[in-house]
Amino acid sequence: MQVTTFYGIDFIGAVKAGRKIWIAEGTADGDALRINSCIRACDLPGSGRDRAHCLAALRKFIGRPGNFSYGLDFPFGLPGVLVEQASWKAFVLNFGAQFGSPIAFREACTNLAIQKTGLKEFKRVTDIEAKTPFSPYNIRLFRQTFYGMRDVLAPLVADERIRVLPMQEPKPGLPIVIEICPASTLKGMGRIESYKKASLSLVRERILDELARQTAISMPDDVKCQVVEDGEGDALDSIVAATATYRAMKRPNNEADKAESHLLEGCVYV
C-alpha cells in the first residue's frame, strides 16, 4: 500500500479534549514531507471542545477510506503480563468492558502488576526500546491511554475501518494507524530541552528547523508561525508525530517491529 498522506495527532483524554488535540497533515513531496495544515480537533466537521463530540469526530476522520497513515501518541497496549487475552485484537475489543473507567483501569493494572510481579508499575518492551517517558497506566498517562484505546482504536478496529501496525497487516483501501511518541522522536534527534511554555518560542522554532534538517520537512510560513506561537507545545507535538509517521511509512519493512512482544503489547514508531 502506497501511503500518500501522513497525519500526526497529538492526543489527550481531557474533558475539553477538542481544544488540546492537534492534527498535522502532510503529503510526500519527492523525498520530503510537506506539512499542509495544523488544526485543533475541535475544528473537524461535527466536532467540539468536549471529549465526546471531539472523539466521535476524530473517529470519523481517521476511519475514512484512503491511502492515509495516522500516528497517535497514546499507548496501544499494556505490558504482556497484564494482558489476559490471547491476541492484541481481542484485548482492544474487550478493553471497554474490562475497564469501566480511567480510575478503574489504573487501579486494575496496578493491582494486577503487584500480584504478578511485586511491582506497582512497569513498561512494555517497546517503551524500553523507544525510551518513552511513562508506563501506559502511569498517573500522567492513564486517561490518555484509556480514552485512546476505548473511544478511538476499539470502535475503528471493531468496524474494520483501519489497520493497526504491527499487530495487523495492511489492507488496500484502509488507513494505517501506528503508535508514536513525540518525546521519544525528539530524544532520538538529540532534542531534550523543554519547549512547552509561551516564553520558549525560540526553542520551538529551533526544533522545527532541526526537523527540516534531519527529515526534510517543509511547511508554509503561516503554519510554522502557528506552531511556534502555540505556547503549550501541542501543535509542535503534532508536527513531530506527523514526521515520525512519515519516517515509519518510508522505511523498509522491519521484522523487528513484529517481535512477539510487539504483536501483543504494541510498538512505538520513532
Q: What domains sit in the chain, N to C, each tagged with a CATH number?
A: 5-76+153-269 (3.30.420)
* pLDDT bracket for residue 1 (50, 70, 90): low
pLDDT tens figures, 49-90 = 999 999 999 999 999 999 999 999 999 999 999 999 999 999
* pLDDT at residue 124 greater than cutoff 70: yes
Question: pTM for the complete prediction?
Answer: 0.95
* pLDDT at residue 226 greater than cutoff 80: yes
* pLDDT bracket for residue 254 (50, 70, 90): low
> Residue 7: beta bridge partners?
25, 70
Coil, strand or helix at 70: strand
Do the Cβ atoms of 125 and 78 come closer than 8 Å? no
Nearest to 131 by CA among 249, 261, 234, 270: 270
Nearest to 233 by CA among 173, 193, 188, 178: 193
C-alpha to C-alpha distance for 8 and 255, rounded to whole angstroms = 24
pLDDT tens figures, 202-212 = 999 999 999 99
Nearest to 265 by CA among 97, 105, 129: 129
C-alpha to C-alpha distance for 214 and 232, rounded to whole angstroms = 24
| DSSP string of 86-135, one letter each residue | SSHHHHHHHHHHH--SHHHHHHHHHHHHHHHHS-S----HHHHHHT-SS-
pLDDT tens figures, 125-179 = 999 999 999 999 999 999 999 999 999 999 999 999 999 999 999 999 999 999 9
Show the cell assigned to 92. 482492544
pLDDT tens figures, 96-114 = 999 999 999 999 999 999 9
